[in-house]
Chain A
Amino acid sequence: MSFKADRMDFWGWIGAPSLICLGATLLFAAPIKVLGLQLPEPVFPMAPVFAWAVLRPSILAPFVLLGMGLFLDMVWGDLTGLWGLALISAYLTVLLSRSMMTGQSRVMMWVWFAVACGVAMAVAYAATAVDSGVAPNLVPTFWQFLPTVLLYPFAHRLIERFEDADVRFR
């Protein structure tokens, strides 16, 4: 499936994906049960974190990530700044390793996405443990990590859509 490369305007590149992530976060935070099971709670902003860093460095992206992180903190009741710091850490990791990812297969990119998710979760885990004095249980941490990693197709779609829009940073 091929996508037409869109122009890198703010709305299509940053605005719309951010709003979709925030809406999905709010939707999945609703106390809805499907067949008696609760919905998973993935970190939706990880998809744009990865795509934005892979395609090109951006000055706006870290501040948008900070805003999205604050939104997650408010909806989930986390420590203020926790997810902002986690998302920015993941963004920085992908940004620093983007030269290694050029031309990699989709599977390898998925692995890189998992590594980025791991970095974000590790930062959030460490900050929570330091603040509360208790190390959070690893089982629920894994159950948030797993559905987050499964979000890679959305990041891939965003990358494909804007891949040819700005070729200076390839």
Chain B
Amino acid sequence: MSYRDGHFQDLKVPLTWTVAVAVVVAAVVAIALLLSDRRETLQASAYGVARAVADTVNAPAGQALSAPGRVASQASDFLRDYFFAASENRRLRQELAEMQDLRDQVASLRNVASRYQALLGFRTDPPVPMVTARVILDARGPFSETRLADAGKERGVEVGNPVMSERGLVGRVIGVTRGASRILLLTDVASRTPVLIDRTDARAILTGDSSTAPKLEYLRGQSPVREGDRVLTSGDGGLGPRGLPVGTAVKGLDGVWRVQLDAAESSIDFVRIILFTDFSKLVDQKELSALPLPPGPPAPTSPQTVIMAAPADVAKAAAALAAKAKPSDGSSAPKGPAGMVTGGGASASDHGATP
């Protein structure tokens, strides 16, 4: 019996209702995906296989699509350099004169700093390795400010690594796969970065809101920030090294302190990914978080403890004290490897004391 000859031949589902069901099902799937997303976390596993695969596929596509743009940009740079060579030369000469003064100051300060470090026994941070990458895809919308860079796992990039342009901090890596890594910019609504005000050492959290100047939140103290203050990374929470340049504090039209980002002064086409690993990630977290064993019954190790613990054996403990007070009488106290007398010379068990 064919389908058409059966009881279902007259069954007609209204299209409107079927479409309504389809829309509801699709919406439920979208909401479920939305609720399960954890892109802002620093866990590598939170990025998801789908995103990693998509980035792997998008990377070569982005490379190919951005190639004409790069060529056009290089041609435009060439023309600009050609026509504006004289003014550029004047500007560079002026900049060089300023830099020569700064160079002398830096040499002097470096000398003083190294002597202070030697005097104080100060241990400086080791140099942090970094890799250079090119931006190949670019999301500039209000709900997402990310970049896809062409350096991935194979070059040692990890989730959480800070990313800089030649001017200052750009963001951090939130996803990494082979050949590509996804960078969350400081301006993204999901971005939170611990920073400090250079002048006052006041701490704050830089919070992106998809505008060009992210907000400074959780500022404490009496007037901790002034217009024009330099803002640097604080390194709190192990998100990155301390002291990376972020930008300059400005008061927004809404009365909120914001940061004019250094990185916004030029286009983010090449970036440096800092392969920073915080010390808290190097230690064995399991060992740190393991609960200590409950303490057992105290074992008396000195005659005084024995006296306190067992008054009945006072006489024996007193004898032990007397024996210890006369080392020259030929008693052999166990010695440590360096010849030092160890504290266990007259243990409770030697004297038969009970705790």
Contacts and interface: CB of A to CB of B under 8 A. Distances in A.
Interface of A: 26-27, 29-33, 38, 41, 57-63, 65-66, 69-70, 74-82, 84-85, 88-89, 91-92, 95, 124-125, 127-129, 131-132, 134-137, 139-141, 143-144
B210 A140 contact: yes
B211 A139 contact: yes
Contacts of A27: 65
Given A57-B15, A59-B22, A74-B51, A134 B209 contact: yes
B196 interface: no
B22 A62 contact: yes
Given A77-B39, A80-B33, A84-B33, 20 more contacts: A31-B69, A31-B136, A57-B16, A59-B22, A61-B19, A62-B26, A74-B51, A75-B54, A79-B37, A85-B27, A95-B23, A124-B143, A125-B142, A127-B34, A131-B34, A132-B190, A136-B209, A139-B211, A143-B142, A144-B141
Contacts of A92: 23, 27
Interface string B186-216: 0001100000000000000001111100000
Contacts of B142: 125, 128, 136-137, 140-141, 143-144
Nearest to B15: A57
A82 B35 CA distance: 10
B189 A88 contact: no
Interface in B34-61: 34-37, 39-40, 48, 50-51, 54-55, 58, 61
A63 B26 contact: yes
B289 interface: no
B30 interface: yes
B29 interface: yes
Contacts of B146: 76-77
8 contacts: A31-B147, A41-B140, A78-B139, A80-B34, A84-B26, A88-B30, A124-B143, A135-B209
A29 B31 CA distance: 25
B138 interface: yes
A78 B207 CA distance: 17
B282 interface: no
B283 interface: no
A80 B37 contact: yes
B27 A30 contact: no
Contacts of A136: 142-143, 189, 209-210
B201 to A, nearest CB: 26
Contacts of B141: 41, 76, 78, 140, 144
B11 interface: no
B98 to A, nearest CB: 27
Given A63-B22, A79-B39, A140-B210, A85 B30 contact: yes
B30 A81 contact: yes
A84 B269 contact: no
B124 interface: no
A12 B31 CA distance: 29
